[in-house]
A and B are shown apart, each in its own frame.
Chain A
Amino acid sequence: MKGSTPVALDDDFLGQVHVYEKHRIGLPRMRPYFRELWRRREFAVELSRSTLRAQNFNTVFGQLWLVFNPLLLGAVYYVLVAIIRGNPRGIDFLAHLLGGLFIFYFVSGSITTGTNSVVGGGRLILNTSFPRILLPASATITAFLRFLPTLPIYAAVHIAAGLPFSWAMLLIPVLFVLYAFFAHGVAAFFATLQVYFRDTANFLPYLVRIWLYLSPILWTLDDVSGVGPKIKQFLVLNPLYPMLGAWQDIVDHGNVPRLSFALGTLAWAVGATVVGMLFFMSREREFAVRL
């Protein structure tokens, strides 16, 4: 760490001379941190790939499982909704349900695996100095790689439901990037918490389950257009409300997302990234003594 005293020898660019000094505010210097982060990005990618390989998701049946699992879940929820409503909804609702579920599992999967990433990387953290944020970042990459095979399924149902195709769909990659930043920020936050409270990961499944029911997945935005403002003001606080709302504006209606959803998604992505990463980075140098 370079402190107040100017250090002529401290050459971050060559990386040959390292000066460690006490840090005052807890945050590392940003420029070298992010440069090192970028330089070691291969690590995060390789860790995701190795993890998926270890879970046999690189095989044909592994890939099929990645597709079947969310599809079966979709079927379960479809039946559930049909029973609760007393009559089944159309295939366009199935498209809505599957799209929402797949995205939800991308985001929540990134958060749940990210939460354990630091505690699970114990030995590496004890032995090597590197930007620890690579660990939750890798969890987000893993979740994304698991999310990708489900996209063709959604596309098939989308076509079967006769839903529109439009130029607005070009915005979908942007949306996914924002989802990833949001998911990574939250993952970094919970990963830090997990270091201090090892039961964080035990509480998480309950939160995730409630979050699923509060998000416009099993229900549509039209379903809740009739609810009173009291409930509505709660629903819009859910990050996934604008995030999935923006997605649904594009795929269900072929429109560019309405401004409130677009801004809401952007705000949550930036907010979660900033808060989650700063919290993580301000604590990460303590991880080695807390593991």
Chain B
Amino acid sequence: MLSVSERARKDVPDGPRVGGPAVKVDDLSVTYRTSVEKRPTLRGAIMRAGRGRRTIRTIEAVRDVSFEVQPGTVLGIVGANGAGKSTLVRAVAGILPPTEGRIEVHGRVSTLLALGVGFNGNLSGRENVVLGGLAAGLTRSEVAEKYQEIEDFAELGDFIDMPMKTYSSGMYSRLAFSVAVNMTPDILLIDEALSAGDARFKRKSLDKMRELVAEARTLFLVSHALATVRELCSEAIWMHKGQLKLQGDPDRVIKAYTRYLEVGESAVTDEDF
């Protein structure tokens, strides 16, 4: 279990096993039970008792999905809200265990899901970055080594030493993105993380992603910004109601997906990035 790997093989760009896929997903299903209550409480459970209202829902988020991703691929994942994109990516990251099936991941994974850093708003950006790195399995010296790059890339100035609760959402996502890309992952999983941040930072993060791709690292990009997917991805999959509807060339997949959405590629979907 426990995704993120042993200390980095620094500066070795491609996956550890040359020739094989970077990620191999076989018949993956992820089903989980979650509470429909916003804040499940014992008091609520007792007061509800006897009325027989179920507050636990079973969600079949991903059903029977299989695919392979070769090292150096930029995989775009598109699909409507609730199609299972995020669950799929979390399963690949090792955060959600498969209910059925199997996932094989070759290489060091870095994740940018749910605006990763800043889990403790009372701590500064710097402390959150260090803690995030340590939790991901880096040693203290590895974190120290990468820290400067992260700070420089995020361009937060003095805010880096302020409690993160003082950050704007753009600053949050800049720091989160900076952490994820500067961890020199073999496989980078990005889930909708590029929506915040100003135009200049978006440009910069796109460039950074291209840089990672040029180093033959593997990228998963969950996005509703179809223009970005088309521009950046070498392959795409379309998730629909938990199932893999189509895999292949991004143009083809996006065309099929947009046809399905019946909106064509209007200005809205293009500028969504």
Contacts and interface: CB of A to CB of B under 8 A. Distances in A.
A19 interface: yes
Contact of A129 (B1, B102, B134): B1
A20, A47, A124, A131 interface centre (most CB from chain B within 10 Å): A20
B104 A290 contact: no
A200 B117 CA distance: 27
A131 B191 CA distance: 22
Contact of B101 (A14, A15, A22, A29): A22
A236 B35 CA distance: 39
Interface in A239-263: none
Nearest to A15: B6
Interface of A: 1, 3, 9, 14-23, 28-29, 32-33, 36, 39-40, 42-43, 46-47, 50-51, 53-54, 120-131, 134, 196-200, 203, 285-286, 288-290
Given A21-B102, A197-B45, A127 B40 contact: no
A199 B32 CA distance: 23
Contacts of A16: 5-6, 9, 16, 106-108
Interface stretch (B67-75, B92-100, B247-255): B92-100
Contacts of B1: 1, 18, 20, 28-29, 32-33, 36, 129, 285
Nearest to A28: B1
26 contacts: A1-B97, A9-B17, A16-B16, A18-B105, A19-B104, A20-B1, A22-B101, A42-B139, A42-B140, A43-B135, A46-B140, A50-B123, A120-B119, A121-B119, A124-B131, A124-B132, A124-B135, A127-B113, A127-B116, A128-B93, A196-B40, A197-B40, A197-B41, A199-B41, A203-B42, A289-B32
A134 B4 CA distance: 15
Contact of A42 (B4, B100, B127, B134): B134
Given A22-B100, A40-B137, A42-B139, 19 more contacts: A15-B137, A17-B16, A17-B104, A20-B102, A20-B105, A22-B98, A42-B140, A46-B130, A46-B140, A121-B119, A121-B120, A123-B116, A123-B118, A126-B114, A128-B116, A129-B93, A196-B35, A197-B41, A197-B42
Contact of A134 (B104, B105, B127, B135): B135
A20 B135 contact: no
Nearest to A26: B97
Contacts of A50: 120, 123, 127, 130-131
B137 A290 contact: no
B88 interface: no
Main secondary structure, interface of B, reads loop
A128 B5 CA distance: 12
Given A32-B2, A285-B97, A54 B163 contact: yes
A1 B90 CA distance: 15
B17, B41, B45 interface centre (most CB from chain A within 10 Å): B41
Contacts of B41: 197-199
Nearest to A18: B105
B136 A289 contact: no
A288 B87 CA distance: 10
A134 B132 CA distance: 13
B111 interface: yes
Contacts of A54: 120, 122-123, 127, 163
A201 to B, nearest CB: 10
A193 B96 CA distance: 19
Contacts of A127: 95, 111-117, 119, 132
B95 A126 contact: yes
A9 B104 contact: yes
B8 to A, nearest CB: 10
A211 B101 CA distance: 47
A1 B130 CA distance: 27
B10 interface: no
Nearest to B25: A20
Given A54-B122, A200-B42, A40 B134 contact: yes
B137 A36 contact: yes
B183 to A, nearest CB: 11
Contacts of A47: 131
A18 B3 contact: yes
A237 B116 CA distance: 44
A204 B201 CA distance: 46
A40 to B, nearest CB: 6
A17 B6 contact: no
B103 interface: yes
Given A18-B1, A129-B1, A129-B93, A286 B32 contact: yes
